[in-house]
């Protein structure tokens, strides 16, 4: 049996790390800056949902396909379809996240759809909330 003792000087181990989306340089290491754990998974989910299938080279099936639904009349059925597409995209392409629930609501005056994704990162017990605001862009 192994006992791990936490001291004020012990370093937290990161489970997951990704590069920042803007490819910023870390001022300390002069290498690409990293985001870790929940921020890395949040960025990945956001990128997956906002990517259309066929948009990534050599990966034609990756993406949520949400943009096509934003030009439909926003009804409860369309909101339900958006929720289901977000869930299936995350379950298929993001193995680090376990979904709790996904809710979509619309703001008719702003022509936006708000998507709230609640999930766990695998091997953690803390729920994480991600808010996405989807807008129509031509």
Ranges of each domain in the chain: 17-135
pLDDT cut 70: percent of the chain above it: 89
pLDDT in tens, 68-115: 888 888 889 999 999 999 999 999 999 999 999 999 999 877 788 999
> What pairs with residue 117 in β-bridges?
102, 130
Confidence band (pLDDT; 50, 70, 90) for 64? Answer: confident
Q: What pTM, to 2 d.p., does this model score?
A: 0.81
> What pairs with residue 18 in β-bridges?
35
Tell me which residue of 27, 72, 63 sits closest to 44, measured CA to CA: 63
SS (H, E, C) 3-26: CCCCCCCCCCCCCCEEECCCCCEC
Q: Is 13 exposed, middle or buried (0-12, 13-18, 19+ CB in 10 A)?
A: exposed
pLDDT in tens, 44-61: 999 999 999 988 889 888
What is the pLDDT at residue 99?
95
CA 90 to chain CA mean position, Å: 8
CATH topology of domain 17-135: Nuclear Transport Factor 2; Chain: A, (3.10.450)
- Output 86 or 135, whichever has higher pLDDT: 86
What is the pLDDT at residue 2?
47
Instruction: Report whether pLDDT(4) > 80.
Output: no
Confidence band (pLDDT; 50, 70, 90) for 36? Answer: confident
Beta strands in the chain (DSSP E): 17-19, 34-36, 97-107, 112-121, 127-135
């Amino acid at each position: 049996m192994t006992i791990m003792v936490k001291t004020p000087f012990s370093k937290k181990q990161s489970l997951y790390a990704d590069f920042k989306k803007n490819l910023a340089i870390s001022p300390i290491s002069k290498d690409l800056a990293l985001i870790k754990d929940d921020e890395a998974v949040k960025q990945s989910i956001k990128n997956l949902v906002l990517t259309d299938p066929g948009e990534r080279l050599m990966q034609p099936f990756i993406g949520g396909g949400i943009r096509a639904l934003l030009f439909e009349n926003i009804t409860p059925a369309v909101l339900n379809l958006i929720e289901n597409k977000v869930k299936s995209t995350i379950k298929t392409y993001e193995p680090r996240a376990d979904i709790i629930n996904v809710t979509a609501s619309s703001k008719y005056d702003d022509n936006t759809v708000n998507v709230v994704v609640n999930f766990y990162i695998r091997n953690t017990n803390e729920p994480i909330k991600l808010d996405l605001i989807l807008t129509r862009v031509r």
